[in-house]
Amino acid sequence: MKKSFRPYLAFLFMGSLLSFSACKDKDDPEPDHEHDVVTTVTLTLTPTNGGQAITATWEDLDGPGGTAPQIDKLVLRANTTYTGSLTFASEEAHGDHTDTHDLTADIREEGTAHEIFYFANPQGLVTITKTDKDANGRPIGLETTAATTAAGQGKLRIVLKHQPGTKSSTSNENTGETDVDITFDTSVQ
């Protein structure tokens, strides 16, 4: 009787080991699926016919609800075409140092879930055309061309949308979750 009982004990022991090892330790942290808060956006426009690049930065280091962001004025030349690039970063202060995470590569890598939208007011002040594409051939908006015509004053609004599973050929600024929505005062001279 003892011999026939031992295999059952072995199976019971093995089953309890498998069950125990399959249980997740409650102290293990859950993976962080939250996005980093965008604290810095930099728009760089380089004239296609030569000349110095123009850079405008929006910076809100303490995040939403704190001190107002610092925003450069965007000053462009009339009747000029530019090659544009947009970068995003998240900066976190930790006592005596700041950690900076460049989000641009992440947005490009996850291009099928992101799109950047540009709105000039008045319309035609500057015309932005997205030139980069995601794996599905849809625009991302990190790389652009920008064209100005006549001199004028206005604003350029830039909206980064997170659109996992919803980005399509008809996506717009109302599709998905807004990661950042900023506006540059813009002067075309």
pLDDT of residue 6: 54
**Arithmetic mean of pLDDT, 101-122:** 96
Mean pLDDT for the chain overall:
85
Asked if the model's pLDDT at residue 22 lies above 50, the reply is: no
> Is 4 a residue whose pLDDT tops 80?
no
Confidence of residue 61 (pLDDT cuts 50, 70, 90): confident
Domains and CATH numbers, the chain: 36-188 (2.60.40)
- SS3 sequence of the chain: CHHHHHHHHHHHHHHHHHHHHHCCCCCCCCCCCCCCCCCEEEEEEEECCCCCCEEEEEECCCCCCCCCCEECCEEECCCCEEEEEEEEEEEEEECCEEEEEECHHHHHHCHHHEEEEEEEECCCCEEEEECCECCCCCECCCEEEEEECCCEEEEEEEEEEECCCCCCCCCCCCCCEEEEEEEEEEEEC
The pLDDT value recorded for residue 185 is 98
Q: Specify the pLDDT at position 94.
A: 65
Which residue did the predictor score with more confidence, 2 or 106? 106
Q: What predicted TM-score, i.e. pTM, was given to this entire model?
A: 0.79
